[in-house]
Each structure stands twice: as C-alpha cells, then as structure tokens.
Chains A and B, each alone.
Chain A
Amino acid sequence: MNQPGEALSDKSALVQRLQDALAALESGDEAGWRREIDALAALRAQPMMSGLGRLARELGQALGELPSVPSEAGELDDACARLDHVVQMTEQATHRTLDLAEECRALTERLRADGLNAEQGEILERIRHNLTEVALTQSYQDLTGQIIRRVVGIVRRVHEGFGALGLPPPEEEARNQGLAGPAVNGLDRHAVSQVDADDLLSDLGL
C-alpha cells in the first residue's frame, strides 16, 4: 500500500492543506478554514474507513457470504440461522443419546432383578456409573449452544455497527463459491432429500 511515491504525494498534499488552512485562518476566512480542516480529517479517516470496509467484507465472507449491502440483512439471518440449526441438531442428538442411556439403565435393572453373582454385580455397577457419565457428558450441548448463541449475538451487533457506518461499500463479490456444506432445513433450497437423490440417480441410469 504505502509506496514511497504515494507517501511523498500524500505529504505534499498534507502540507498544502495545512498551508491553506493556516492562510484561511489568518485571513479570517472562517468557512475556508473549516473546509480545509474537514478535508484533513477526511484524509485521516479514509484509511480507517477502507480498513473497516475490508473487515466488514471479510466478516461477511467468513460467515458464508453475507450481504454486500448491510441493509439487506437476509443473508446474515441465514448465517445465524445456520448456527441456530447447529444448536438444534446437537439438541436432537443429545436427546437420542439420553434416550439410549436411559434404556440401557433400565436394562441393567432387569439384569439385576434376574440375580447376579458378586462379580457380575460389580460390572453392572460400573456400567450404570458409565451410563450416568455418558448422560452428564451430554451437557456439552447446553454449553456449546450457549456459546453459539452468544456468537450469533456478537455477529449481529458487529454487522449492525458496520451497517450504521455504511459499510461495507457495495461490491460485486463472487458468490456461491466453495461447497455448501450440510443442508439446513428451510434455508437451503438447493438441498435434496435421499429420496430425491435416489430418484435423480435412477434417472441417470444408476
């Protein structure tokens, strides 16, 4: 970015602005003085704004191609909905795991009712203990879910902040690059079910 020539011309432009501002101030040209000072401020703010603009675009890309115009928040909702979907998927899987753990515990009760020798009783206790641990380990779902919800909140706030600054500037980005990843119900119109896929394959002679 900072080429020597560019820096030099920046410097001479800065000197010129400062001299113009000083001249305006000395000659009592209030409007002229303000104009020069504003121009100087803009000169300083411009790299920061372009930096923020780049950051906003990178954030957008990192989150799966967010809108290049912040007011179109639709795709941000899409990105956040994907994260919400992760919470739902882990919730379902966790309930399934808990179902199975509970069922296994009930089965151990039946074994015990049938009468066991000492060694078998000991093993059964260990199995029951491990099933408790399996259930408890599923609390990761709550904890990761909380973290994801927090990140969704942060993303929304950062994006709103960029929007308030008018960032990122409209830019044509290459869209739909890369793999879509797991399909999210209600969001991914490109997604097909296994049945659809089988139909398609059979149409293709497979």
Chain B
Amino acid sequence: MRILIVDDFSTMRRIVKNLLGDLGFTNTAEAEDGHAALSMLQTQSFDFVVTDWNMPVMTGIELLKAIRNDAKLKTLPVLMVTAEAKREQIIEAAQSGVNGYIIKPFTAQTLEEKLGKIFERLAASA
C-alpha cells in the first residue's frame, strides 16, 4: 500500500506521515500541492491519497476532481484532511467523489477509524 500525502504545510505532511506509519502504512510519498500531486500520480504508482483542501497552485478539491476525471486514476481512494469545515464544502467533496473527510485538528483515532471505514467499503464494493 503506497500512500501519497498532499499538504502545503510540511509540518502537517510529517504529522500525517508519522500517524500513518504508526498504523503500519510506512510506504508514503509527499507533495506540496494538487498540481505536484497529480504529476506524481500520473508517473508513479499509488494506492491511496490523503490530501488537504486549501493549497496554493491547485487545491485538494481540484485534485480530487482531476483524479475522478482521469481514466487511469478515477478509482483511486482519496481521503481529505482539511480545516475546511463548511457544510457546503463537505457536500461538494462528497459529490466530487471523496472517500473520506477529516476535519483538522483531528485525532489519531479519527484517522484510524476513517481509514478503516474506507477500506471496509472498498472491500465490500470490490
């Protein structure tokens, strides 16, 4: 399981990376905005994306939409981890095909739960 972590704050990338490591996901890579993430996704192999929303150049929601519109990437699971907490935004993310949504600040337990739920649903639909 190779995971791409996308956030413009290096501190948050590191925190997410550490938490994923604790949960046994040690194969990770990082990108600092949606644009950089997309080019990594198109040239390398990933199984999962954890992305922030509010980033310069290309936001997380734009990244999500780009992934869903890409023939090769469209089934890639995307977990959004963001401080954006407006109802409409969560709805927009859901309608754009997000697999999970975590609002910052979050706990290690929340991350574990959401990941578990995503994998459960993926296994059920597979």
Contacts and interface: CB of A to CB of B under 8 A. Distances in A.
Interface of A: 91, 94-95, 98, 102, 132-133, 135-136, 138-143, 145-146
Contact of B11 (A95, A102, A132, A133): A95
Contact of B83 (A95, A133, A136, A143): A143
A146 B104 CA distance: 11
Contacts, number: 51
Contacts of B19: 132, 135-136
Contacts of A139: 11-12, 15, 104-106
B14 A98 contact: yes
Contact of A142 (B12, B18, B22, B108): B12
Interface of B: 7, 9-12, 14-15, 18-19, 22, 54, 83, 104-108
B36 to A, nearest CB: 17
Given A95-B11, A139-B11, 5 more contacts: A95-B14, A98-B11, A143-B104, A145-B9, A146-B9
A107 to B, nearest CB: 15
B22 A146 contact: no
A146 B83 CA distance: 9
Q: Return the 5 tightest CB-CB contacts between A and B, nearest first.
A: A142-B9, A142-B12, A94-B11, A141-B11, A139-B105
A98 B83 contact: no
Contact of B10 (A91, A132, A135, A146): A91
B18 A143 contact: no
Nearest to A92: B11
Query: Could you say which of A102, A133, A136, A145 has the most chain B C-beta atoms within 10 Å of its C-beta?
Result: A136
A135 B105 contact: no
B94 to A, nearest CB: 22
B10 A140 contact: no
A98 B15 contact: yes
Contacts of B10: 91, 95
A141 B9 contact: yes
Nearest to B22: A132
A138 B54 contact: no
A145 B56 CA distance: 13
A143 B105 contact: yes
Contacts of B14: 95, 98
A142 B10 CA distance: 9
B11 A136 contact: no
Nearest to B54: A146
Nearest to A94: B11
A136 B104 contact: no
A167 B15 CA distance: 45
A115 to B, nearest CB: 23
A142 B107 contact: no
A132 B104 contact: no
A146 B11 CA distance: 12
B9 A136 contact: no
A145 B73 CA distance: 31
A91 B123 CA distance: 38
